[in-house]
Structure formats: C-alpha cells, structure tokens
C-alpha cells in the first residue's frame, strides 16, 4: 500500500468519503485519489513522489501556476502583520479598487469567504432589492451548495449522479425555476407567465461545472433584455470565469453587463475568498446601509486580500490572455486530431485557459447533452493520462484549467500524452 492509499484509508475513518469536497474522492473515475505533498508551477508532487502536470489548478485559482513567487511573497508580507484583525484593513480597499476597475458591472463590492457565500448573498440581495422570491437558474449550472440553488446542479452533484440534495426543503426548491441553458423559447415563456415574481436570473455565462458549455449567439443578450424588461436582477456567476477568459470575465469579453456579479477563486490567489458586487443602488441595500443582512468574521481577510491583489496585479502587468488562448488551442488540436485519427466522436469546447472533453457526436449545448456524452471514454482517458503524468479533473463534468506556468515543455508533453490516451482506446 503506497502513501496515498494509507492516507486515504485513515481519512475514510475520519471524514465522510475520506474527503472534504466530494469530487476529490475519484468515485466517478474509479481508483484511490492521490494526496498532494507540494506543488510548483504547472506540476503537483504526490505523497508518493510522482510528478503530475496539473490541469485542475486547484479548480481554477492557480492562473499563474502553483506557489507563484509574487503571490507567496505577498502572503509572507501580510503575515508579518498578523493573520486576522476583525476590523477594516488597507488591503480590502485596494482589492475593491482593483475589482471595480477591472469588472464592468461592479460599482461597489462586498468581500466574503467563498464562491458559495458570494452567490448565496447575491441571491438574498436580489430578493431584498426586488421584493420578489423566485429565481431562475439553468440545469447543470452550479452556484455552490446553496439550498435554493442546489437543484439540477452541476459540478460534484452531477458527478455523483445526485443533481439535487437531501436536506433541502421542497419549499426552498419551489422558489427556483430551472430551465435549459440555450433555450430562448422556455425563457421567454417563463417571463411571460411569471416575470412579475422573478427576483433574478443567476447564470454561469459560460457554464463550467458541467464540462464547459458555450452560449448560442444572442442567448446572454436575451437574459439581459428580459431582466431589464421585467425589472429582475441579472446575476453573472463568474466565480470560475472571472479573470480566466478575460480580465473582467465573460461580461468584458462579450460586452453584456449584469446587475450583480459573483466572484471567487483567482481573486484570492489560492486562499479562501469570495466577492459579489454590482450597481450602487442594489449594493447599498446591504447592511449597514440597507435592510439586507450579510456578514462574515473573516471577510476581507488580510492574507487572502494580499494574495488576490498580487494575483490580479500580475494579470494586469502580464496580460497573458493571448498566450493562454494559444496554450488552450494546442491542447484542443491535439485531442481533436487524435480523435479524428481514431474515429472517435469528440467535442473540445475551449475558451482561453479553459477547456472540456466530451465524447459526443454534436456540440454540447446544455445539461442534457452533457449527461448523454460517453463518460466511460473520459474515464479511460483520465486513467491513461494519470498513469503517464498528466492530471485531469476526476470527472467528465468538470472543466480543465491551464496556467501561464504550462507554457513550454509542460503543454507539449501534456498534449502528447492526451493524444496518445485517445489513440490507446
């Protein structure tokens, strides 16, 4: 029994499933999860001494690679002054200035501690601002483990074959209207029938917890138009896409401005973080100015703020998005070329540093398309890649991430391994 197997055996006695987040358990791909000892650049080193080229990137935050020296130095500098104060600190102001500068929709911002907190708080704020209860979400979009949003969710819930969750009252779920992504007809019908009851639409503008799904032409614009027409709040969940596809997220890339935006991951530089922000008139409904209560002991934590500031400043100075697009295209072309040679149907949606792998005949446009793809082929590719030093997300329904540290031999080596994995099927 190797070190990871020993650790997992111990963990299963102490934690449900042996993990602190379900998808880490490798239940959908099979086998025992490895434990990471350390990480640097584009590589993880396991507790067993194996080196892996990493396309999970801590599920998104590591856009500069692991243990980036600028981020690490910023954390060390902040640590010299303490770990937490329980009072306002200067880092919070600098972070707010950066986010309001970079994200088109954000006039004011509130920091919190996770993406789940950000989406939960944005929903509460939208309900408080509009005085309405109903929320529209899309099947396969995952917005954290919020009671009213964990309905037809993606990410780990979908991976485990459990799109809903026990412990959520039916009355909570009843306030959530679930539609298919890229279905404008259902969206128009819903607003025609219930528009005066709908507080908000919440959407991953590029759904990235169900693989990676791209919007049809005009779909995101329709969301904006319907929310404006019916005085509902449009919430973009850019926890995953924020600062990945562009410095200001999808909204900057496509030129559509939501009313509220939820963020996380990259803005914490790898430390726990979340944020939500938007129009001043909505954000000023939050306590202490308004009646919508939201709070957090560690919100604006100085270590997380320092790490996030360093990460965002590095993005501003490097502006790596053209380079990341080329790296993404390298992986995409390698996979598609091998699939064509092998005669396997394959879709590789890719935007910048994000890509997904669907073994399907047609482009994946929604949750139903994603769940009907051939996951067994993905599992074969995952195992081949892992055995040959490349770590993909341990689920067919997750998005792969690339960092600036992948540039060079890592991306070429990984492309060769993934192509070989397709050809070996």
d(CA 226, CA 191): 7
d(CA 401, CA 240): 10
Instruction: Read off the pLDDT of residues 65-104 as tens digits, 9 standing for 90 and up.
Output: 999 999 999 999 999 999 999 999 999 999 999 999 999 9
Confidence tier at 165 by pLDDT (50, 70, 90): low
Q: How many CA atoms are closer than 13 Å to the CA of 110, on its beta-carbon side? A: 26
Lowest-pLDDT choice from 53-62, 152-161, 247-256, 412-421: 152-161
Identify the pLDDT of residue 266: 97
Question: What phi and psi, each to the nearest 5 degrees, are found at residue 264?
Answer: -175, -155
Identify the pLDDT of residue 161: 42
Mean pLDDT of 295-322: 97
pLDDT at residue 14 is higher than 80? yes
Confidence tier at 155 by pLDDT (50, 70, 90): low
Mean pLDDT score across all residues of the chain: 94
pLDDT at residue 130 is higher than 90? yes
Mean pLDDT of 34-59: 97
d(CA 346, CA 335): 8
Lowest-pLDDT choice from 146-160, 224-238, 364-378: 146-160
Mean pLDDT of 373-385: 96
d(CA 235, CA 227): 10
Domains detected in the chain: 3-63+320-423 (3.90.1150.10), 69-317 (3.40.640.10)
For residue 210, give every residue at least 6 positions away whose Cβ sits within 8 Å of its Cβ, in sequence order, or none.
Answer: 140, 141, 142, 154, 155, 158, 367, 370, 397
Confidence tier at 163 by pLDDT (50, 70, 90): very low
pLDDT at residue 365 is higher than 60? yes
Identify the pLDDT of residue 146: 75
Confidence tier at 158 by pLDDT (50, 70, 90): very low
**Higher per-residue confidence, 55 vs 25:** 55
The two tokens of residue 43 are 């590589």
Identify the pLDDT of residue 76: 98
Which positions are catalytic?
142, 237, 265
d(CA 236, CA 121): 13
Identify the pLDDT of residue 162: 44
Identify the pLDDT of residue 18: 94
pLDDT at residue 159 is higher than 90? no
pLDDT at residue 152 is higher than 70? no
Identify the pLDDT of residue 227: 98
**Higher per-residue confidence, 142 vs 353:** 353
Confidence tier at 150 by pLDDT (50, 70, 90): low
Q: Is the peptide bond before 288 cis (omega within 30 degrees of 0)?
A: yes
For the entire predicted model, the pTM comes to 0.95
Q: Token match 């990871």: residue? A: 4
d(CA 397, CA 206): 14
What percent of the chain clears pLDDT 90, i.e. is strictly above it?
87
């Amino acid at each position: 029994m190797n070190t990871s197997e020993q650790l997992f055996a111990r963990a299963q006695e102490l934690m449900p499933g042996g993990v602190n987040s379900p998808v880490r358990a490798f239940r959908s791909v099979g086998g025992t999860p490895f434990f990471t000892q350390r990480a640097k650049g584009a590589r993880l080193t396991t507790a067993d001494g194996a080196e892996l080229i990493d396309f999970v990137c801590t599920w998104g935050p590591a856009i500069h690679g692991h243990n980036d020296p600028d981020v690490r130095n910023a954390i060390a500098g902040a640590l010299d002054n303490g770990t937490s104060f329980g009072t306002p600190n200067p880092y919070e102001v600098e972070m707010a200035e950066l986010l309001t500068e970079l994200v088109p929709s954000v006039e004011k911002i509130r920091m919190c501690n996770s993406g789940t907190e950000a989406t939960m708080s944005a929903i509460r704020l939208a309900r408080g601002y509009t005085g309405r209860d109903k929320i529209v979400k899309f099947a396969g979009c995952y917005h954290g483990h919020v009671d009213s949003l964990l309905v037809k969710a993606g990410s780990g819930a979908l991976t485990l074959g459990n799109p809903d969750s026990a412990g959520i009252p039916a009355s909570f779920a009843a306030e959530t209207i679930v539609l298919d992504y890229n279905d404008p007809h259902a969206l128009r019908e819903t607003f025609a029938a219930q528009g005066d009851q709908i507080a908000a639409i919440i959407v991953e503008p590029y759904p990235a917890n169900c693989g990676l799904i791209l919007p049809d032409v005009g779909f995101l614009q329709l969301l904006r138009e319907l929310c404006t027409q019916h005085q509902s709040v449009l919430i973009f969940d850019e926890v995953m896409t924020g600062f990945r596809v562009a410095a200001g997220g999808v909204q900057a890339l496509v030129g559509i401005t939501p009313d509220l935006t939820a963020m996380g991951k990259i803005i914490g530089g790898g430390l726990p973080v979340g944020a939500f922000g938007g129009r001043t008139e909505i954000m000023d409904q939050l306590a202490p100015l308004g009646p919508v209560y939201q709070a957090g002991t560690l919100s604006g934590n100085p270590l997380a703020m320092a790490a996030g500031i360093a990460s965002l400043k590095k993005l501003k100075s490097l502006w790596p998005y053209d380079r990341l697009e080329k790296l993404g295209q390298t992986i995409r072309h390698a996979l598609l070329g091998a699939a064509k040679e092998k005669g396997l149907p394959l879709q590789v949606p890719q935007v910048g540093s994000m890509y997904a792998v669907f073994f399907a005949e047609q482009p994946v446009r929604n949750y139903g398309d994603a769940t009907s793809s051939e996951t067994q082929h993905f599992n074969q590719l995952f195992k081949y890649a892992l055995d040959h030093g490349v770590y993909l997300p341990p689920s067919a329904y997750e998005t792969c991430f690339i960092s600036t540290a992948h540039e060079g031999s890592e991306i070429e080596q990984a492309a060769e391994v993934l192509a070989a994995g397709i050809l070996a099927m």
